[in-house]
Structure 1
Amino acid sequence: MRLKLAPGEHVIVRTRPHPRPLALPFVGVLVVLAATGFGLGLLSRQDLPPVVVEWVPLAVVLVLAVAALILLRIFVRPMMRWWGTRYLLTSRRMITRRGFSTRREHELALASIYQLDTSQTLLQRSTGSGNLTVDLGRDRTVVFPDMPQIHTFKEFMVEAIGDLPLTVMFDGVDMEADPVHDLEGY
């Protein structure tokens, strides 16, 4: 589904979270594949006891099924979660979309943002990613985890907030209008 933009609104950045959190599940895939290969190698040995030999076909299917279930759990789910998450920064909104079949969308008007904070762990710093915390006032914050190129993204957001018309920033009160000249009688 395409993003519907208001007149004068344009997309500045369209990105996904940084793929760094997928590194540990990938290592898990390698361990599961190595363990599966080792288990299948044990089951293919010629010196197995006769009692075990008759159960080898069932054991092979069982080992492969368990390996497939573990791979689904430790890698496919995080991969699909990462693949289905998008961050969109437009000239007026920050939009987060999550999911494939059931899509959740969260929008933040740039005019409602009071403060932007970034934080980076050592691993995030080495890859240029980080967590972007958006302060909406009244103790309401939204965290966008693993934002790629966090400092560049923050600069784009600050620039987009600065480019907003002043009327948007103050609930429709036209701040650029002529002030009232003289209030005689008050």
Structure 2
Amino acid sequence: MGLPDHHLAEGELRIRAFHPHWKRLVVPFLALLVIIVASSAAIFLMPAFEYDSYARIAVAVIAVGLLTVWSFVPYLQWKNTSYVLTSHRLTISLGVLNKSSEDIPMSKVNTVSADQTLFERMLGSGTLNVESAGEQGHVTLRDIPNIQDVRAELFRAVDEADDEEPRTPRPAEP
């Protein structure tokens, strides 16, 4: 998911790989149920008339279109959004047809903070804010599952990256 093992650098270990929280799929799932129930009722309860077969086909086509836009596409977006935390970097991959990836090296991470609403605290999700010394500077990741565990693992990875970072030697004193 997100970052295949053969793309890891030598000595780089995968700490955690995950998708956004499942709560992003609640509305698409409810849309799926409503569309299926409504279109089934419309098809089976439609009175008989001269062009009823065309009307049933039209209802089915509209239902498939709505299912695609309101259920299938959000599911694909959720499934193709992945976060991979390794010992060297945090990788964010987005996109269904067009793929975009962003890597934040652990050595560049300055600040990590987490925000949670009451509802998110009950679900164990939240928003992770990562500030780095990179080009973009600030990345906000919404709907992160197990936010406190991810935050703790990210802190550990940053600390380990700082410990492994080579220090410049001081010039010898005369």
TM (norm. structure 1) is 0.82
2:154 paired with 1:157: yes
AA partner of residue 114 (structure 2): T
- Cα distance in 2, alignment partners of residues 69 and 121 from structure 1: 34
Alignment partner of 2:17: what SS?
strand
Identity level (%): 25
2:113 paired with 1:117: yes
Alignment partner of 2:161: what SS?
coil
- Cα distance in 2, alignment partners of residues 8 and 2 from structure 1: 15
Compute the displacement of 1:80 (Å): 0.2
RMSD: 2.1
Partner of 2:26: 23
Aligned length: 170
Q: Which residue, 98, 104, 108 being the options, matches 2:104?
A: 108
Partner of 2:91: 95
Compute the displacement of 1:122 (Å): 2.7
Compute the displacement of 1:137 (Å): 4.9
Structure 2 residue runs of 5 or longer lacking an equivalent are none
AA partner of residue 4 (structure 2): R
- Cα distance in 1, alignment partners of residues 14 and 78 from structure 2: 21
Partner of 2:4: 2
Partner of 2:142: 145
AA partner of residue 100 (structure 2): R
TM (norm. structure 2) is 0.88
Greater Rg over alpha carbons, structure: 1
- Cα distance in 2, alignment partners of residues 33 and 163 from structure 1: 51
AA partner of residue 182 (structure 1): E
Per-residue CA deviations over 1:104-152 (Å, capped at 9, x if unaligned) read 1110011111100111123321110111110125983101111110000
- Cα distance in 2, alignment partners of residues 34 and 100 from structure 1: 28
The answer to whether the 8 A contact 2:107-2:162 is kept is: no
Partner of 1:36: 39
- Cα distance in 2, alignment partners of residues 65 and 23 from structure 1: 24
- Cα distance in 1, alignment partners of residues 68 and 119 from structure 2: 26
2:52 paired with 1:60: no
Structure 1 residue runs of 5 or longer lacking an equivalent are none
Per-residue CA deviations over 1:16-68 (Å, capped at 9, x if unaligned) read 1111111011111111122112211331x4xx5xxxx1110000000000011
- Cα distance in 2, alignment partners of residues 14 and 167 from structure 1: 23
- Cα distance in 2, alignment partners of residues 100 and 77 from structure 1: 9
Partner of 2:74: 78
Partner of 1:11: 14
